[in-house]
Amino acid sequence: MTTTVESAATAARLHDPAVRGFASDNYSGVHPEVLAALAAANEGHQVSYGEDDYTARLHVLMEEHFGAGIECFPVFNGTGANVLSLQSLLPRWGAVICASTAHINMDENGAPERIGGIKLLQVPTPDGKLTPELIDREAWGWGDEHRAQPLAVSITQTTELGTCYTPDEVRAIAEHVHAKGMKLHMDGARLANAAAHLDVPLREFTRDAGVDILSFGGTKNGLLFGEVVVALNPEAAQGLLYLRKMNMQLASKMRFMSAQFIALLEGDLWLRSARHANAMAARLRAAVDGIDGVEPTQKTESNGVFAILPEGIADRLRESFRFYDWNEAAREVRWMCSFDTSEEDVDVFVAAIKRELAAG
């Protein structure tokens, strides 16, 4: 029998839950295990601003994944995590080298510059990944008062193009950066997807590889909201306790942020969800690889597929399935899968692609 609560929830729903899309892993709902954790954390009172039992437990779990001696700071969103992380690495005159496709450069509305006061030195890349050689295009000019000083590098794991750094690639960058007196930040909005693809522990391509500070993503992996700034090398990051408040990223009811990450990290939910999203992207990629007229443009090493479509096909598909253009001029689109993307979702979408291509 349907309960009163279920009936009320259904009556209040403003969307059709049967509608699916491939626009973003932010489009998905909240994983049921995370919702249950939020409900459990909702009983009674807890101290505010991070002095709660859930945030203390989260720190223990983070140390289990990344090792002792780290510091972690839950924040509201990925942009806040990135700005906060980079600010903690730099003096006022510092600059950050990043890929031109990096989220901090393309998708944060200038927040690192406007809010963080940080100059971004962007480098074009073919696949979203920096290398020591590419970094050196902007790693120069120290001591020149006319140039913002390149004192940090930011890499994204997985990248905005769905590609993944190996542990050796991260280590090579870290060693190169540190030898020049710079620090290394990792934007890990899809960190779990990288671990799923690489099949290695989280710390193997982060702390053990030389990353100084990490933006650990949760929202794209089934959370309602929230990310965590993880200072893997606390000596490299200054003032995080104060910068979080200054950047309007300090949650008063922090237990609800921390409870979600506990649900994610205490067992294997983080890895199960990421593996599933990756597997659905792999299924989609395998299907479109065999379709004339679809031209994949990047390796599929995460939960995204990038492809070029013939003129007009994307817009017709979007009448039923929402997704974004990545490079409109080149007719390149991006299709993202989530923890709740099903095999049927993929198969129905592939059938629609075939149907539109056949219709010309």
What are the structural domain ranges in the chain? 4-30+269-359, 32-265
Alpha-carbon distance of 309 to 291, in angstroms, equals 11
Strands 332-336 and 324-327: antiparallel
Residue 52 tokens, joined: 């709660």
Report the candidate in 146, 144, 89 with the shortest Cα–Cα distance to residue 116. Answer: 89
The CATH number of 32-265, from 3.40.605.10, 3.40.50.1820, 3.40.50.300, 3.40.640.10, is 3.40.640.10
Half-sphere exposure at residue 72, Cβ-oriented, CA atoms within 13 angstroms = 27
Q: Do residues 224 and 253 lie in contact, with contact meaning Cβ atoms separated by under 8 Å? A: no
Q: Do residues 195 and 170 lie in contact, with contact meaning Cβ atoms separated by under 8 Å? A: no
3-state class (DSSP) for residue 84: helix
Q: How large a percentage of the chain has pLDDT more than 90?
A: 94
Find where tokens 């709660």 sit.
Answer: 52
| pLDDT for residue 12 | 80
Alpha-carbon distance of 239 to 106, in angstroms, equals 26
Strands 304-308 and 332-336: antiparallel
pTM of the model: 0.95
| pLDDT for residue 118 | 97
| pLDDT for residue 2 | 55
SS3 content of the chain, % helix, strand, coil (to 5): 40, 15, 40
Q: Crossing angle for the helix pair 255-265 and 32-41, nearest 10 degrees?
A: 140
Residues of the chain where predicted confidence (pLDDT) is lower than 70: 1-11
Half-sphere exposure at residue 135, Cβ-oriented, CA atoms within 13 angstroms = 27
Q: Do residues 220 and 190 lie in contact, with contact meaning Cβ atoms separated by under 8 Å? A: yes
The CATH number of 4-30+269-359, from 3.60.21.10, 3.90.1150.10, 3.90.470.10, 3.40.718.10, is 3.90.1150.10
| pLDDT for residue 9 | 63
Alpha-carbon distance of 130 to 170, in angstroms, equals 9
Q: Do residues 301 and 198 lie in contact, with contact meaning Cβ atoms separated by under 8 Å? A: no
